[in-house]
Structure 1
Amino acid sequence: MEYRRNAMARLEQAEELDLPIRLAATGGRAAGVLLAVLVTAGTLWAFTGSLPRTMTATGVIAPPPASRAAGEPVVVLYVARQDADRVTAGSAVSLAVPGVPPTAPAGHLRGTVSYTATTAAVRAAVTAQLPKDASRVPPGAALVVVRIPAGQVSLSKALPLSASVHLAPVRPVDLVSGS
């Protein structure tokens, strides 16, 4: 009966159609405006901003061939086949030789991608060049040849190394859409 009495009392009250509607308190309005600004800024950044991308790879750095002894060392990186198409000639590469401090002359090198081979690396050749690190090389890896400017390092034997290949930046919306 209590519900019926409350309902009847409500029906008998005058309607308040002439009063302004209060949708949110001042704090709620400020939070709504802040949320709108953040969503707008995020959307704008998604379409106009960019994210840097890097890829890690295992490889070997070798002295120049005897035919060009005064030339540049040869760096061969092994990259997963599906990632090889993202590596383009001219991409910057940072190289780190394990066991050599980054402050030493041969500890941290920079180079550029010369080319990416179209054929997969032969497993026996990878194992011969990287006996300890061959397990880190993905099966069917593609070869990426990196050019290091002469004078950065002089080598007497081949050394294993790890590398970060700096790829072209990508827009955040492209990551979401998968393109």
Structure 2
Amino acid sequence: MNFRFKALQRMREPDELDSPTLLAAPRGWIAVFVVMIIMAGASLWAFRGSLPISVSAPGLLTRPLGSAQVQSPVPGTVRQLLVRPTDSVAANQPIARVESLDGTSAQITSPFAGHVVGLGVNEGQVIPTGQTLATVERTDAPDDRMVAMVFVPAARAVGLTPGRPVDLSVSTAPASSFGLLRGRITSVSPYPLTSGELTGLVGGDLAAKTYASASAPRLVIVDLVRDTATRSGYAWSTTNGPPNALGTQVSVQATINLGSQTPFSLILGR
């Protein structure tokens, strides 16, 4: 009898049009409203939000003309090295004395002024023609100063123009303690560097490997922003920066700021 009573109740239900029907529980409506608010916020952010665009690349602090290798024009034995690393040399100053196979002695001079950053031979070493005797960081540019040379892969160099701000993480001044060194792009090479050009700028094949990438890099020269209030004489993202002066031949990691774009544009690949 109980089963029959329930069956009759169900048969009468379609005719009970005046009875209220519960479409959703209050908790269900709250969940719907929360999802709608999140979707509206996400849509607004997608069209009105802003994502920074930047390019990162390795580089080093140096002079505008970079470094160059002084090579021996004659074969023979290195009898005397006349300079040491950190020495300053003038144009046409002797840097080594090489004794050729016939016993004659030749003094090898530096064709430009600069600072010796490394030696390629030892005294008593027998060398062929073209052997690198010393690597010299050139200081004979008319506008000699400290700059950052940044080597950006050619595929990522689109949009790099003079005046763009650059943040430099300096290896000898950790960013976590002293902040980032400020700079601005001065020039961008119109063509990618060849392996020979890169080797010549940084002073050797070993150093060039540090800055080489899968694609030939473009050379970006970054001028450092000066600030006489800091110990280094340059502007940093912190108030004071490091407590000592900056030196050249120091590696940096550059972050070049290219502006911003909306998340929607990023999705479309614009």
Instruction: State the TM bucket, normalised to the shorter chain.
Output: 0.7 to 0.9
Match of 1:119 in 2: 191
Counterpart in 2 of 1:140?
216
- The amino acid across from 2:196 in the alignment is A
SS at structure 2 position matched to 1:67: coil
Match of 1:66 among 131, 140, 158: 140
Does structure 1 residue 159 correspond to structure 2 residue 158?
A: no
Residue 116 of structure 1: how far off its partner (Å): 2.2
Which structure shows the higher helix fraction? 1
Q: Secondary structure at the match of 1:47?
A: helix
- Mapped partners of 2:219, 2:156: distance in 1: 11
Q: Relative CO higher for 1 or 2, CA cutoff 8 Å, sep ≥ 6?
A: 1
2:157 corresponding residue in structure 1 = 84
1:91/1:167 contact within 8 Å kept: yes
Q: Which runs of 5+ in 1 are unaligned?
A: none
Identity across matched positions, percent: 26
Distance 1:9 1:136 in 2: 86
Question: Which protein shows a greater Rg?
Answer: 2
Asked whether the 8 Å contact 1:116–1:142 carries over to 2, the reply is yes
Displacement of 1:154 after TM fit?
5.4
Counterpart residue number, 1:23? 23
DSSP-derived class of the 1:120 partner:
coil
> Which AA in structure 1 matches 2:222?
V
CA RMSD, Structure 1 to Structure 2 (Å): 3.0
Aligned length, in residue pairs = 171
How many angstroms apart in 1 are the aligned matches of 2:63 and 2:210?
24
How does the TM-score come out when normalised to structure 2?
0.54
- After the TM superposition, which of the residue ranges 169-178 and 107-116 deviates more from structure 2? 107-116
Q: Which structure 2 segments of 5+ residues have no match?
A: 65-138, 227-232, 235-244
**What are the Cα deviations for residues 129-154 of structure 1, in whole angstroms up to 9, with x where unaligned?**
17346245322112222121344265
Residue 12 of structure 2 corresponds to 13
**Cα 1:86–1:22 shift into 2, 3 Å:** farther
